[in-house]
Chain A
């Protein structure tokens, strides 16, 4: 039995907007084990992002327990949460969120700046390794506006990897990309997962979810279905078999 990394019990989240109370999560129970590649799916507004934000310690639940790597997150204060995100978690966002006018290398280095245990010398080397892992070492001096969307997302993935996190959280990481580039990004995630990284991936595209190992379906703040992926896609293979698009030539 693999180690449990995320354990959520009866998690609820409510938003109060004026008089209205929005129940975004209505009692979620969930368990994610080391090496899982989980896709959280569901219709728009079903609570996927809310769930991911709480799992990523960016937001706090209204009630319920959350154990991350054996640690009760509710008991931590702001600074401890920041340190936890810095040491154990990685984030990939739909809109990349790279710092503008800052080189790819510096963007990847960023999390390490907030880790006092890492010296300036090591920092560059670690960041370079992460960029190599996403195949963009040759673009390290390029700024985001000199990179394509897919490349920017790969830089963002490198940034999420740089602190060797326990879990990577990705919210619609392929949402802004075309099919081919999405597959490239998924292939990268599959590679990372094959090396043992735990990944929680929010998407509403069923074919993207087929690249993961387990799917959790949300609706109206509940989990309505959950199960392992039967015939899993291999992104690398699909990319190799994809016909080169000649329409634009």
Chain B
């Protein structure tokens, strides 16, 4: 029998038991649709994390004091004072692959204006900070080098702080807020950034010269973080190397001694976060895959029923000249058709479900063409795999036994 005839026979057989065929397909439909949707959600979360990390800055490199650990338990920042302004200056001078550097000290506390107050964080940074971290000044201005040198009592406010202290859409430029006991004059407003991928509000922030935060608020001389920008993404690892060497020299670390600082790059951050969401994707996909497997077993079950029901038909077909192979192909075609039609419907449903999820949940959902192709291939494979044993059983029947079957 040729393939056209085989498919005709298969279609007829399925049409004879429409409801049963549809119910059997339902298993595959649900399986494929959930695989597609789950992979789309996983990919979507990966993409959103990547986008957000990229929006944090360009080719960023962070230096932090290293944390001593023992057996995975964090023992506290024993070296927490290892980074200083001298390090920042050394990096600027001695690292050709790094364009911009900014120190960073943070403190949390209450921001107060008149009778309003708001718990927030103050970031003491350098003038290059907005460029490195892709923070934009919406109105007003950034503080200057001079203001950094003089530890000027100036600041820029994020949207959340403004809303909490002044009300929405208020213009606070020129007004004075207090952070703890220190009065700071507002010279600029930061553009909104929204939440980051960890759910942190990136607009609940006050920016001030790092000298102001060091001297007037925290009374310390060390830095918590140094942020830097590499010349380009490609130069990122070279920049890390240069930076590490410079810091080791300045910290007078002996050869073989551990770094007393950690260097992280944006690329690393992206790949760490991506690998987390990859695991998530695999997990979701695997769960959905199990439902696909169950769907496949459903097909196998129905094919066994179908073979048993049609034993006499098989006997007759053999009597009039069907070979074992013809019978095998007939039943295999039927199960492939069940799984492939189910698969196509499932793919469409999965794409539909993905877009519904993305619009309702406001998640980015990325349907990968690869997952569609893969689902299709997997469906065909399921049809062949789960159809094989029932079809084999049919093909190996003895014509006489099959004809006599009741």
Interface residues of A (CB under 8 A from B): 53, 56, 58-59, 78-79, 82-83, 85-87, 91, 93, 97, 99-102, 110-111, 113-116, 159, 163
Check A83–B321 contact: CB distance below 8 A. yes
A-B contact pairs, 10 of them (CB 8 A): A56-B319, A59-B400, A82-B324, A83-B321, A85-B319, A86-B322, A97-B403, A102-B12, A110-B317, A114-B326
Q: B191 contacts the other chain (Cβ, under 8 Å)?
A: no
Q: How far is the CA of A114 from the CA of B315 in the complex (A)?
A: 14
Check B324–A78 contact: CB distance below 8 A. yes
Q: Which residues of A contact B257 (CB under 8 A)?
A: none
Q: How far is the CA of A85 from the CA of B318 in the complex (A)?
A: 9
Across the interface, B320 reaches (CB within 8 A) one of A78, A79, A85, namely A85
Check A110–B320 contact: CB distance below 8 A. yes
Q: Which residues of A contact B69 (CB under 8 A)?
A: none
Q: B323 contacts the other chain (Cβ, under 8 Å)?
A: yes
Q: Which residues of A contact B321 (CB under 8 A)?
A: 82-83, 85-87, 111, 114-115, 163
Q: Which residues of B contact A56 (CB under 8 A)?
A: 319
Q: How far is the CB of B182 from chain A (nearest CB, A)?
A: 89
Check A113–B5 contact: CB distance below 8 A. yes
Across the interface, A91 reaches (CB within 8 A) one of B312, B320, B324, namely B320
B307-336 vs A: 1/0 string, CB under 8 Å? 000001101111111111110000000000
**When A and B form their complex, which 6 residue pairs have the shortest distance between CB atoms, in order from nearest?**
A86-B321, A114-B321, A111-B320, A82-B323, A97-B316, A59-B400
Q: Which residues of B contact A102 (CB under 8 A)?
A: 12
Residues 7-32 (chain B) with a chain A CB within 8 angstroms: 12, 16
Closest B residue, CB atoms, query A116: B2
Across the interface, B316 reaches (CB within 8 A) one of A99, A101, A113, A116, namely A99
Residues 273-329 (chain B) with a chain A CB within 8 angstroms: 312-313, 315-326
Q: How far is the CA of A97 from the CA of B320 in the complex (A)?
A: 11
Check B403–A86 contact: CB distance below 8 A. no
Q: B399 contacts the other chain (Cβ, under 8 Å)?
A: yes
Q: How far is the CA of A115 from the CA of B325 in the complex (A)?
A: 14
Q: Which residues of B contact A93 (CB under 8 A)?
A: 316, 403
Q: How far is the CA of A170 from the CA of B148 in the complex (A)?
A: 109
